[in-house]
Chain A
Amino acid sequence: MTAFLVFASRRLAGAILTLFLASVTVFGSIHSLPGSYADVFLGAHPTPQVKARIEETFGLDRPLPIQYAKWIAAAARGDFGVSLVTQKPVAEEFALRLPVTAELAAMATAIAILAGIPLGIWGGLERWRFVSRLSRLCGSLAISVPDFVIGSLLIYVFSHYRLGLTVGTWVSATSNPLGNISAALLPSCALAALGVGFVMTTARHATISIRAMPWFLAAVARGKTAPAIVREHVVKNAAIPVVTIIAIYLGYLLGGTAVVESLFTAPGIGRYIVEAVQLRDYPVVQAGVLLAASVFIGLNLVADLVYAALDPRIRV
Chain B
Amino acid sequence: MLDRKSRSLCGLTRRNVLAAGASLAVPLFIGSGARAATGGTLVWGKSLEMTMLDPHTALVGSAWQLQYLVYDTLVTMGDHFEIQPGIAESWEQPTPSTYVFHLREGVTFSNGRAMTAGDVAGSIGRVVDPKFGSWWACQMGSVKSVQAVDAKTVKIELNEPFTPLLPSLAASMTAILPMKELQEGTFNPSKELMGTGPFMVTAHQQNDYWTLTRNPHYWRKGYPKFDEVSIRIITDDGARLAALQSGAIDIANFENPDAPKLLQGATNVKTAIQQTGDLYTLALNPVWDQSPFRDQRLRQAVNLSLNREQIRDVALSAQGTVSGVAAAVFKDGCTPTVARDVAKAKELAASAGGLSFAMVVQTSEAIQRIAQVIQQNVAEAGIKAELNVVDEGVFVDKVFVTGKFQASPFFWSAYADPGMVAAWWEPSVSGFTGKYVVSVPELNDLVHAERRTPNGLERTAQLKRICALVDDGAQMIPLVTKPVTVGYRSDRIQADIHPFEGYNDTLRHIAEFSRV
Contact = CB atoms under 8 A, between A and B. Distances in A.
A168 B249 contact: yes
Interface string B154-193: 0000000000000000000000000000000000001100
Interface in A22-68: 33-36, 39-50, 53
B397 A49 contact: no
Interface stretch (A82-90, A110-118, A232-240, A288-296): A82-90
B240 interface: yes
Interface string B43-67: 1010001011000010110000000
Given A96-B205, A264-B239, A280-B393, A158 B133 contact: no
Given A44-B59, A49-B131, A278-B392, A272 B207 contact: yes
Contacts, number: 146
A169 B249 CA distance: 8
Nearest to A93: B206
Contacts of B248: 166-169
Contact of A265 (B239, B395, B397, B399): B239
B235 A265 contact: yes
Interface string B343-379: 0000000000000000000000000000000000000
B236 interface: yes
B432 A35 contact: no
A278 B362 CA distance: 12
A222 interface: no
B243 interface: yes
Contacts of A40: 392-393, 396
A278 B392 CA distance: 7
Given A40-B396, A168-B240, A168-B241, A85 B235 contact: no
Contacts of A280: 393
Interface residue tally on B, bucketed by range? 35 or more
B392 A47 contact: no
A140 interface: no
Contact of A162 (B135, B205, B235, B246): B246
Contacts of B205: 96, 267
A44 B243 CA distance: 32
A85 B410 CA distance: 24
A271 B207 CA distance: 9
B391 interface: yes
Contacts of A272: 206-207
A39 B133 contact: no
Contacts of B392: 35, 40, 278-279
B391 A167 contact: no
Closest 3 CB pairs of A and B: A49-B133, A168-B243, A35-B393
30 contacts: A33-B394, A39-B393, A39-B397, A41-B52, A42-B135, A42-B400, A43-B60, A43-B400, A44-B400, A45-B430, A45-B432, A46-B401, A47-B133, A47-B431, A155-B238, A158-B242, A162-B245, A162-B247, A168-B234, A168-B242, A168-B246, A168-B248, A169-B45, A169-B232, A169-B234, A170-B232, A265-B243, A279-B51, A279-B392, A280-B393
Given A39-B396, A47-B134, 15 more contacts: A33-B394, A35-B392, A35-B401, A36-B397, A43-B396, A49-B132, A167-B239, A168-B241, A169-B249, A265-B233, A265-B236, A265-B243, A267-B207, A272-B206, A278-B392
